[in-house]
Amino acid sequence: MGAVVVIIGIIVLIAWGFESNRSVISPKKSHQKPIHKPAVQPPPIQPTPIISPYEEHFSNWKEQTIKQFCDSMSLSDLLVEKNIVEIVYLDLLSCFEWQFKRVKILFRDSYECKDCHVRDERNHVHHLHYIKDELPWEIEDSGLITLCYQCHKKRHESTDFQIFVRINNKLIPSTSGRIYCNRCGSIGYIPKYNHVQNGICFNCWGNLINQSVFNKVLSETYENLDNYNDSFKRTGYLTFMNQLTVNDFVNKVPNYQNYVMPNIPEDDLPW
């Protein structure tokens, strides 16, 4: 009997030792959620800038256009170079002030003739009317439209132009009404005869518009020539040109794919 008790005690001790070793080797698992370290995020991919295939064309066009403006005389240059009685309409259209206004209107109209809808970089800008004692480029944009050479010529041959007077910021028809030279269309210049005295019209001697519209403002400008700030006025076209984008160039300028600064024919005007 005593032996049996001893044997049972030994078995109990062996079993207890086994369980103790097992608890050391295999501890109970914790129910705590594992901590996940955040994965290292790759740096954001920078989009590759898309360069328009027409960027070079646009750059060349802008450079040539600005150069054209810079090379054109200003009104103050013209008044120093010529006496007022010698200045004709063609001279005023050659000034950079008009050249800048012209490009702005061509851009507005996408270089499209409003009569025949032809788009051409050589198209003209036509005055629908003139305002007494205001220079050609001082008219509101609404008084100017884009026309091709032929449609512009037809307008001058078939219609006379009206002169308005600005009173209290309103345009009132001038008492001089409509004036017209049946030889030159009242522009004072006949392009195909530019080899004879620069094409001046022998019928009105180029003075019909000047005497009716511009003489007074030219005289006033000359008297205050020291106050005519060329540099300030030229910043206007530089600001305009620098604000244009390649998309403006593609959407507005005809033949933008192979743009070349057009050569103006000798029998054309700087419209």
261 is written with which tokens?
């600064």
Mean pLDDT of 43-52: 55
Task: Specify if 68 maps to a domain.
Answer: yes
Instruction: Give the SS3 label for residue 140.
Output: coil
Mean pLDDT of 129-147: 94
104 is written with which tokens?
């702005």
Spatial contact of 156 and 171, defined as CB atoms under 8 Å apart: no
Is the pLDDT confidence value at 160 over 80? no
90 is written with which tokens?
């063609």
pLDDT in the model for residue 230: 86
The radius of gyration of the chain from alpha carbons, rounded to an integer in Å, stands at 41
Per the structure, the complete domain to which residue 141 belongs is given by: 55-258
Residue 190 confidence class, pLDDT cut points 50, 70, 90: low
Task: Specify if 185 maps to a domain.
Answer: yes
Query: What is the torsional sign of CA 124, 75, 186, 265?
Result: negative
pLDDT in the model for residue 193: 60
Output the average pLDDT for the chain. Answer: 77
Using alpha carbons, select from 132, 115, 113 the residue that is nearest to residue 124: 113
Return the residue matching tokens 């991919």: 45
Task: Specify if 85 maps to a domain.
Answer: yes
Residue 53 confidence class, pLDDT cut points 50, 70, 90: confident
Top-confidence residue, 48 or 217 = 217
d(CA 51, CA 32): 55
The strand pairing partners of 162, in sequence order, are 129, 178
- Alpha-carbon 147 to chain mean position: 19
Task: Specify if 5 maps to a domain.
Answer: no
d(CA 191, CA 144): 21
Instruction: Give the SS3 label for residue 87.
Output: coil
Task: Specify if 19 maps to a domain.
Answer: no
Task: Specify if 204 maps to a domain.
Answer: yes
pLDDT in the model for residue 33: 43
pLDDT tens for 126-136 read 999 889 999 99
Mean pLDDT of 211-239: 88
Residue 164 confidence class, pLDDT cut points 50, 70, 90: confident
- List all residues 6 or more positions away from 116 whose beta carbon is below 8 Å from its beta carbon: 148, 150, 151
Instruction: Identify residue 84 by its one-letter amino acid code.
Output: I
Is the pLDDT confidence value at 201 over 80? no
**Domain tally, the chain:** 1
In terms of DSSP H, where are the helices of the chain? 2-25, 55-71, 75-81, 89-93, 96-108, 149-158, 208-209, 215-223, 230-243, 246-252
The pTM of the full predicted model, rounded to 2 decimals, is 0.71
Is the pLDDT confidence value at 261 over 50? yes
Is the pLDDT confidence value at 212 over 90? no
Task: Specify if 46 maps to a domain.
Answer: no
Mean pLDDT of 141-165: 86
Task: Specify if 30 maps to a domain.
Answer: no
Residue 119 confidence class, pLDDT cut points 50, 70, 90: very high
Residue 137 confidence class, pLDDT cut points 50, 70, 90: very high
pLDDT in the model for residue 98: 94
Mean pLDDT of 72-93: 89
